[in-house]
Structure 1
Amino acid sequence: MGRMTDMRPMLRWLLDSDPSLRWQVERDLADAPAAVWERTRSRVATEGHGARLLAQQDADGQWEGGAYFPAGFFDSPEAREPGQPWTATTWSLKDLREWGVDAAVLGDTAARLDAHSRWEYDDLPYWGGEVDVCINSFTLATGAWLGADVSRLVRWFPEHQLADGGWNCLAEEGDSVRGSFHSTLNALRGMLAYEQISGDRSLRESRHRGEEYLLTRRLAYRLSTGELVGGFVTEFVYPNRHQYSALAALDHFRAAAVLEGVAPDPRLADAVAMVRAARHPDGTWHQGTPLAGRVWFDIDVTQGEPSRWLTFLALRVLRWWDAVDVAA
């Protein structure tokens, strides 16, 4: 594992986890045979986090009766808890997809959402997406996974890409003409997932332009001043939902490079150094400040504790980077 020494104790700790994480550790760090990690992956739908979340699905295919927000969320502003609720349909499906649940387990969910789910914005139909780039990125990836018709969204991303190559959720309201780190990464992750699942490369050129937006900024800095774009860059948290960080960005670039069979871009080096610097003396990465908002249940540890998820993501990125870096 490159610069890392004896990984056996760390692997034992990481493998002692929910099936949603364990199968990825087996595949990407432990080099287990496909039959082993595929067997573990099949358990995600029947055990632990995956089973608990699937059990919350409504009869109409939604979670908590809403597309992006729970039903009735806007009816009583004074009763809202702090933060964005992470319990509605889009967030629940995003988790299940990223945990590796087989789409077949969801049955006719795509059709049920097509019939019953509408966006809180302008009552638009679910699989057509809406105007927010992050929402559309989650929907593009999830639609590809569930076999929905997301052709409108495939066209939407290149059409709404800004002149600098990025995306920004504020652009749709005319409040910005510049890309956002958060919005751009979410767009890239959605387009990459679409290509991974569907095999359709029609968004690759647009994705490459968006990746160049981040690469020219070395994943962390303002192009205008060279200053760190914000403290969120080194705030690692799982689940990160929509929030940008150097670790989340590197995880995307790793996955994109693996798909395309290319080496890491040297401009990722600063972000890699940030990930290395965040490692604690015990060899783990600790949970940052979780995003506020209602959840179905806790997925990872509380703030300040060693996080299996973050440690896995960081080790996977460093393993990929060092495999080329050390051999060079």
Structure 2
Amino acid sequence: MTTERRVLAWLLDSDPALRWQVERDLLAAPERQWQATRARVATEGFGARLLAMQDDDGQWAGGSYFPAGFFGSAEQDAPGQPWVATTWSLKDLREWGVEASALEGTAEKIATNSRWDYDDLPYWGGEVDVCINSFTVATGAWLGADVSRLVEWFPAHRLADGGWNCEAEEGDSVRSSFHSTLNAVRGMLAYEQITGDTSMREARHGGEEYLLVRRLMFRATTGEKVGPFVTQFMYPNRWRFSTLAALDHFRDVSLFEGTPPDPRLADAVETVRAARQPDGTWLQGGRLAGRTWFDIDVDEGEPSRWLTLIGARVLSWWDAARV
């Protein structure tokens, strides 16, 4: 058996949340096949387990971004942050491919019961943090909530250099962040894919250009690598930038808009290619500290099915386009 066949067999022996993407993105299986696997996510494995954790009021862990009782608790002083509250749980379910129909009534319950920790603002209106707002605009579109305020928010809060920064609203920065900008463009793309509304496309393209000018890795001023995080691949990455996560976004853009890969992605692609192990896998680069509902990937240094799926589909897309 070839290395490629061994890797595919290993990837297929996985949770439905991952398997349906392998079938669609690496095997080019008929849509009826991968959609059938995707339909299982709500009733089996990770998706079913996380859906079962939902509170009666529509939330998870009793809170919007942080769980109920977090502030003032010992957990607040622990490394990292908990990843169990409503925003993170919905983000996982959406990205795993759970159909919105499996959460019928959730948007309305959250609108009634969930408020942001910042200024007690209503959930679907978002708040001042661009990363939080990016998760919310995508999830709201998925669940059919009214996120019109956020559709207006993103273009209005773009910085002069083209991107976004979570610290900008507090007056702490006038320069864009790789992390914040990637989260912003991913949220806007998901909104457009779900709704067909292109009103944020110009702003999204501006944010993507910010990253492309820097070739996903380098400072525009000095040409130096912006930080070690760009080549630290992890799953789930939650909010963190990496060249792998960014390339996965640009692959989505290319397939959605019918455009070829931008040549400025070449350095990032070769960085991802170099991280592939001789056995065809990518290794878990780290795990963010903080409480989770359950493990969804391996420990640092072990072969990761999630990262291997993402790495393989990015290289397949890029290499096919070059041919």
Shift of 1:283: 1.2
Name the amino acid aligned to 2:124: W
For residues 84 and 174 of structure 1, what CA distance do their matches in structure 2 show? 23
State the partner residue of 2:290: 293
State the partner residue of 2:73: 76
**Contact in 2 for aligned 1:67/1:117 (Cα 8 Å):** yes
SS at match of 1:167: coil
Q: Please say if 1:143 is aligned against 2:129.
A: no
For residues 241 and 287 of structure 1, what CA distance do their matches in structure 2 show? 14
For residues 45 and 74 of structure 1, what CA distance do their matches in structure 2 show? 32
SS at match of 2:64: coil
User: For residues 166-245 of structure 1, what are the structure 2 equivalents within 5 Å?
Assistant: 166-245=163-242
Structure 2: runs of 5+ lacking an equivalent: none
Shift of 1:77: 4.6
State the partner residue of 2:122: 125
State the partner residue of 2:314: 317
For residues 236 and 78 of structure 1, what CA distance do their matches in structure 2 show? 26
| CA distances 1:65-97 after superposition (whole Å, capped 9, x unpaired) | 000000010032576432111000000000000
User: For residues 28-177 of structure 1, what are the structure 2 equivalents within 5 Å?
Assistant: 28-77=25-74, 80-177=77-174
**Contact in 2 for aligned 1:285/1:307 (Cα 8 Å):** yes
Shift of 1:39: 0.5
Number of residue equivalences: 322
User: For residues 248-287 of structure 1, what are the structure 2 equivalents within 5 Å?
Assistant: 248-287=245-284
For residues 59 and 229 of structure 1, what CA distance do their matches in structure 2 show? 44
CA RMSD of aligned residues (A): 1.0
For residues 186 and 232 of structure 1, what CA distance do their matches in structure 2 show? 15
Structure 1: runs of 5+ lacking an equivalent: none
For residues 106 and 214 of structure 2, what CA distance do their matches in structure 1 show? 39
| CA distances 1:305-326 after superposition (whole Å, capped 9, x unpaired) | 000000000000000000011x
State the partner residue of 2:13: 16
For residues 255 and 10 of structure 1, what CA distance do their matches in structure 2 show? 23
Name the amino acid aligned to 1:107: E
**Contact in 1 for aligned 2:3/2:279 (Cα 8 Å):** no
For residues 310 and 79 of structure 1, what CA distance do their matches in structure 2 show? 29
SS at match of 2:49: helix
**Contact in 1 for aligned 2:3/2:280 (Cα 8 Å):** no
**Contact in 1 for aligned 2:185/2:208 (Cα 8 Å):** yes
**Contact in 1 for aligned 2:16/2:37 (Cα 8 Å):** yes
For residues 76 and 32 of structure 2, what CA distance do their matches in structure 1 show? 49
| CA distances 1:246-267 after superposition (whole Å, capped 9, x unpaired) | 0000000000111000000000
CA gap 1:69/1:30 in 2 versus in 1, 3 angstroms: same
Name the amino acid aligned to 1:82: P
CA gap 1:78/1:302 in 2 versus in 1, 3 angstroms: closer
| CA distances 1:165-218 after superposition (whole Å, capped 9, x unpaired) | 110011000111110000000000000000010111111110000000000000
For residues 107 and 306 of structure 1, what CA distance do their matches in structure 2 show? 36
For residues 43 and 148 of structure 2, what CA distance do their matches in structure 1 show? 32
